[in-house]
Amino acid sequence: MFISKKHISRRTVLRGVGASVALPLLDAMVPAGTALAKTAAAPQMKLAFVYFPHGAIMFPDNDQWTPQGIDREFKLSTILQPLEPFQKQLIVVTNLGNKPAESAAVHAIVPGTWLSCVHPRESQDPYGGVTIDQMAAQHIGQDTPLPSLEVKTEGAGGGGSCDRAYGCSYSGTIAFRKPTMPLPMEYNPRTVFQRLFGRGDTPEERRALGQQYDSILDMVSEDAASLKTRLGPRDQAVLADYLDSVREIERRMQKMEHQDLSQLKLPAAPIGIPDRFPEQQALIFDLIALAFQAHLTRIATMMMAAEVSNMTYPFIGVPDAFHPVSHHQGDPVKIAKLVKIQTYHSQKLAAFLKRLAATADGDGSMLDHSIIVYGSNMANSNAHNQYPLPTAIVGGGCGAIKGGQHLKYPEHTPLANVWLTLMQRIGMPIEKLGDSTGTIAEI
């Protein structure tokens, strides 16, 4: 792509009282007569690590995760079927294990060891391994306002687990900046939104602004109107679509927050709110997409549900709590419910991928320039084991990833081999990670 008109800075933002809104990549950000790839506005790699708890149904006689066929001739399973529109950019790696995650502590250390493949030290204080999202943040995330973004869908009381030998540091996050520094994951969409776009410098100022303005976009409306006069028709359309997305997320957050449950007589044990959890998941995914589009971050981690989650799924016909169902004991009824939950999670991921694929990003789409990892650090939730781990990768990775493959590796191949490969694909000069024994050349 070549652009022939006057350009504006890639770091241009819309500003207002107590707020700023970053912008997506526009044609006007490319200097006149310059190839896009040779400018600061060139598309850049984005990484997202999406974790789901309690594994996947992968029994030899009832495998609902592993595709049929290998290499490029494969058919997606029930759980992965929602990803079929993205099969050409999908890689599923079979026979992976994470031995450093094995422990009697089970849920207490499983999430926090997924992206490090390092067994934590026995201590009530955290001491594990640096996770690959934070390695990537150090390597490619320093040119954005947020080197990384950590989000989840359930907050306090939504699950998690502690252990007398390992404490409580590893079950509520999948991100460790340092061995002793687990990163908190935010579950409130409004908090995430304000972290991305700001709304006042102090709590008092934010409260005052909240009373004065209905939308963060109202604060930057004058700057937006001025910018539009400097853009061509195509850039104006891109900017309008982007700002519409910001406003729509605001609208959905306001709708969630204004629900009045005070007149309801709630039962002693919560049964789940049919329309809230799906909306929560969708908002978190949309905020990641928005942060990528606005170049606010290039690295994101997300927990689709809490470890030891007691979330219920009545909206898909599963009114039972997730974690108790995961202890299926071979019961075909519980197994069928788990497959429903796991397929539903894949559907939410597919909606996120669809948005990335539909979002223009330089000479391709956001999905073309992303690597999205989707997986769990548990295999059979009833056995609490770490083999075989469900692991999928989606996206073009700016040409660094060879999609459309089901790779069947030798049994108990270290999961760390995949992480090492991905870090090398983003240009990190690294030869060893966790218990890695090599790389996955086909990725």
Tell me whether strands 176-178 and 181-182 are parallel, antiparallel or unpaired.
antiparallel
Spell out the domains of the chain, with CATH numbers in brackets: 43-201+233-253+272-425 (3.40.720)
Residues counted in the chain: 443
Bridge partner list, 91: 393, 405
Cis preceding linkage at 274, omega within 30: no
pTM assigned to the model: 0.81
Residue 70 has pLDDT above 90, yes or no: yes
Average pLDDT over residues 360-376: 95
State the average pLDDT for the chain: 85
CB of 180 closer than 8 Å to CB of 121: no
Q: Please state the φ and ψ torsions of residue 407, each to the nearest 5 degrees.
A: -100, 115
Which pLDDT score, from 0 to 100, does residue 296 have?
A: 86
The string of pLDDT tens digits covering residues 74-99 is: 999 999 999 999 999 999 999 999 99
Q: Quick one: what percent of the chain has pLDDT higher than 70? A: 80
Average pLDDT over residues 314-322: 94
The string of pLDDT tens digits covering residues 134-152 is: 999 999 998 888 899 999 9
Euclidean distance between the first and the last CA atom of the chain, given in angstroms as a whole number: 27
Cis preceding linkage at 278, omega within 30: no
Cα separation of 310 and 157, whole Å?
9
Cα separation of 113 and 362, whole Å?
35
The string of pLDDT tens digits covering residues 401-414 is: 999 999 999 999 99
Cα separation of 155 and 137, whole Å?
24
Q: Quick one: what percent of the chain has pLDDT higher than 90? A: 62
Bigger pLDDT: 274 vs 126: 126
| 288 CB-near residues (< 8 Å, 6+ apart) | 48, 149, 151, 300, 302, 352
Angle between helices 332-358 and 276-293 (to 10 degrees): 30
